[in-house]
A and B are shown apart, each in its own frame.
Chain A
């Protein structure tokens, strides 16, 4: 229930928006509802405001009802949790605030250090070979070769890769193709589905299996 609806207002004062919305969504207490209904019987402006709000809510709901996540999003979630299966936080009581911040700080520092280390190693290897290094887990990952459309800029490409859970593995080769790694644990079915989806994207000029 809203704070506004808790307050008994004089009958001549107009109802505020929060109260009208709470009324529209049946979130008022019995007492507040009686008070609001009594006001609405006397106040044309608030009655009209309520009608307008209901209309706006219906149109908004109709607008957003047409939007759904892409069907392949669940597969991406599945693939990613397979990769993180051992990292589930067990059910426990919340830590005290001080302990939590200490723990967060230590974790952040460790992660930052590890990321920096990997980046430095990768930069060195890339400089020597022209290719990104393959970690042990990446050897087992499935790959797709793609050539991006000339119109695809870096932001579009980054968004696309994130969307399909792909990572840029190496490239470009002499034909301008990049090797993309699927998320760890992705199976053949996911590979085929991703390949098919990529071939339909305007940002991709060509998508091939190795």
Chain B
């Protein structure tokens, strides 16, 4: 999603937050909370936990706005904070036994398709699009969380690889590898769905 608020505006609000301005914090919240939430969701896949991350990150932004050094964009800085919070939740909860880069058990494509509207009701084209999106969602859910998160940052937040590496606290080559594998997996998963529809 292209950013509706540019970085210079975010920096002004952040400076105002550092001076104790709660209205500026509200502006920052409106601009950044959806990104923080979706970023957390891309790893944790749990809306309640993602809400908790938004809350914690914004409180930390309020407390530590004065520590922003301006070496990266405000979004990169905030998502970096979010990443640490997400990983705390990840380690604390059931994920400690789950490998970050392991593909999850496949959700059968039939199941994804059966949850879509029947062509007779909504029209064949609309149903196909909906089925396609349902199948896309199913494929995305199977992606290893670390790859899904890198893909989210690259294609939804449109962050350069170097900034993704900064957010995820990993080498740029790891980002490249994760995005590459994520994209390949999604292509293969969707191709399998198309083959199934063609039969």
Chain A residues in contact with chain B, CB under 8 A?
Answer: 1-3, 17-18, 21-22, 25, 27, 52-53, 56-57, 59-65, 67-70, 73-74, 76-78, 80-81, 84-85, 87-92, 94, 155, 159-160, 162-163, 165
Contact = CB atoms under 8 A, between A and B. Distances in A.
Contacts of B137: 63
B160 A2 contact: yes
A61 B156 contact: yes
Contacts of B86: none
Contact of B62 (A81, A90, A94, A159): A81
A165 B51 CA distance: 11
Contacts, number: 131
A87 B105 CA distance: 45
20 contacts: A3-B172, A21-B155, A56-B183, A56-B187, A57-B155, A60-B152, A67-B38, A69-B34, A69-B54, A77-B29, A78-B22, A81-B58, A84-B59, A88-B20, A89-B63, A90-B18, A92-B66, A155-B93, A159-B48, A159-B52
B65 A89 contact: yes
A156 to B, nearest CB: 9
A82 to B, nearest CB: 9
B154 A61 contact: no
Contacts of A90: 18, 66
**Interface of B: prevailing SS:** helix
Contact of B26 (A3, A56, A74, A155): A74
B63 A87 contact: yes
A63 B135 CA distance: 11
Query: How many interface residues does chain B have, given as a range?
Result: 35 or more
B183 A73 contact: no
B82 interface: no
A1 B34 CA distance: 25
A165 to B, nearest CB: 7
A56 B143 CA distance: 14
B138 to A, nearest CB: 11
Given A64-B41, A91-B15, 5 more contacts: A1-B160, A76-B55, A81-B22, A155-B94, A159-B49
B126 to A, nearest CB: 14
A18 B26 contact: no
The list of the 8 closest CB pairs from A to B, nearest first, reads A89-B66, A91-B18, A69-B37, A91-B66, A57-B155, A77-B58, A64-B38, A76-B55
A73 B30 CA distance: 11
Interface of B: 1, 15, 18-20, 22, 25-26, 29, 33-34, 36-38, 41-42, 46-52, 54-55, 58-59, 62-67, 69, 93-94, 133, 136-137, 140, 151-152, 154-156, 158, 160-162, 172, 176, 179-180, 183, 186-187
B65 A88 contact: yes
Given A53-B183, A64-B152, A70 B66 contact: no
Contacts of A21: 154-155, 179
B174 to A, nearest CB: 13
A94 B41 CA distance: 32
A11 to B, nearest CB: 22
Given A59-B136, A163-B48, A18 B34 contact: no
Nearest to B70: A94
A93 B162 CA distance: 25
B196 to A, nearest CB: 18
A63 B136 contact: yes
A88 B63 CA distance: 4
Given A18-B176, A88-B62, A59 B133 contact: yes
Contacts of B93: 155
Contacts of B66: 88-92
B33 A69 contact: yes
